[in-house]
Every structure is written in structure tokens, then in C-alpha cells.
Amino acid sequence: MERQLSLLEDAGDSIARHLWDGSQALAHHIDQTLSLQSQHTLPLLEYVLLQAAYRRLNAIELGCGCGTVGISVAQAIPDCDILLTDLDEVTELVEANIERCNAAMSSKVRFQALNWLEPLPQNLESRKNDLIIVSECTYNTDTLEPLVGILVSLIVRSPKAVICVCTKTRHESEAVFFDLMKNAGLIEEGSMRLPLPGEPGHGYSDSATDVGLHLFHGKDHRLSLSPRNQSEDQIPKVKVTKRCKSR
């Protein structure tokens, strides 16, 4: 059975409150992975999502905008804790979307303003995350260094965490993000392309038909990937069985 996601957006001048293509594509891909309907996914992302069946998932989304991805996860996974973050200007919109959220049993989702140019707030200093979501945040190259700095700070505090980056490339200068991640010691585990929703050319400025999905982790991740302290090679492979879609 397909889950529905109902969101408000502000199509005015503030692009932070727009509904972005890449966020929709990532939310759909995560939902398909959780329902075992995705024919192609990244094994590490699949593992992080499906382990939520026996272990609480703690996730944080940076630059959440309307809250598309984080709210979608909260609706799909029971007993998860989702923290949405962005600048103050999206507070009213995100909180309205949280009110509309039909969260899964025992799951909670909340918003907190976060400026990447400022030190981590105290509650984030002590928070442990399994998944760090970054969707459609690389278009402004002026903010890439602060973004990578925040990611490093979060990984230091949560060495088991996986960083999930989804981006629709709009100009070549965005490629510096991957150089910054590498120089910061964050390792790219894998990548794939996700199809965009809707018709090609009907979006925010170009005729792109897909977005990039990239997974990163810190240097200590492989030693602590499993909640049972197994190495990556010892982790049981998840057997994926195709299910018929019901409407």
C-alpha cells in the first residue's frame, strides 16, 4: 500500500521554502526501499533503513526546507526520532507540515533552527544519529564549507552514522562539495542516479531527468557498522523479496 505525503510549500521568493525535486526523488526512493519495491538501491542505505525493524532509527536532516524527506521517513518507520533543521525562515512552514504528518507508531519528528556558521547547539553535541540527510543543499557554493564542517562535527559525535546526500546538479562549481568531503576525511561509499518525479523540463530551471544519490561515512564507520559490533563483511545480507503493490 502506497503512503501519501501531504506538504505545504511557499512558492514565493524564498527558495528555502520551495518543494525541491531532489527531495521528492529521495523521499520516494526511501519509501520504495522500505517497502521492498526498489529494484536498485545502495546496500549501505538499505541496511541502515531496514535495521530500523529491530533498532530505533535516529536521523537528522540538514537544510530540510519543507521537511519532505524527514517527514516521509517519520511516516514510514515506526519508533524513529527525526530532527529537521534549517534556518529560522522555514520554521512556520515546517512546523505546519509536521502538524500534517501522519507519523508511524511511536515515531516523532520535530524542527530546530540550525545555522551552519554557528557552533552546534548543546542538544546536538550529545545527540547520536544513525542517518544524516542532506537533500538539495549543494546549489549555493558559498555554504559548502560550513555544511561540510557541520557534517564532520556530527560524524565525530556519531561515528556509526551514514550521510545520505541527494543533489540535482545545476552548475559545475558544485563539484567542489565532493572535494571538500574527501579533504575532510569523509569517505564516499557509493552513488547512484534517481529518476525525478513528474515530466522532464518541468521543475526549477532545467531539463534534468534524474538526481545523484551519494552515501558517505567517517573513517571509523566500518569498525562499528553493525549494532552488534560486527564488521561489514560479517553483516548478514538482507534478502529482498518482491511484493505486489496494492492500491
Q: What residue type is 33 in one-letter code? A: T
Q: Is the pLDDT of residue 244 over 50?
A: no
Q: Where are the domains of the chain?
A: 15-234
Domain at 15-234, CATH homologous superfamily = Vaccinia Virus protein VP39 (3.40.50.150)
CA atoms within 13 A on the CB side of 68: 22
Chain-centroid distance, C-alpha 60: 8
pLDDT bracket for residue 5 (50, 70, 90): confident
In sequence order, which ranges of 17-129 are alpha helices (DSSP H)?
Answer: 21-34, 43-50, 68-76, 91-100, 122-126
CA distance 37 to 31: 9
Cell matching residue 143 = 555554504
Among 65, 3, 67, 71, which residue's Cα sits nearest to residue 34?
3
Kindly report, residue by residue over 203-240, the tens digit of the pLDDT: 545 567 899 999 999 998 864 444 433 444 444 443 43
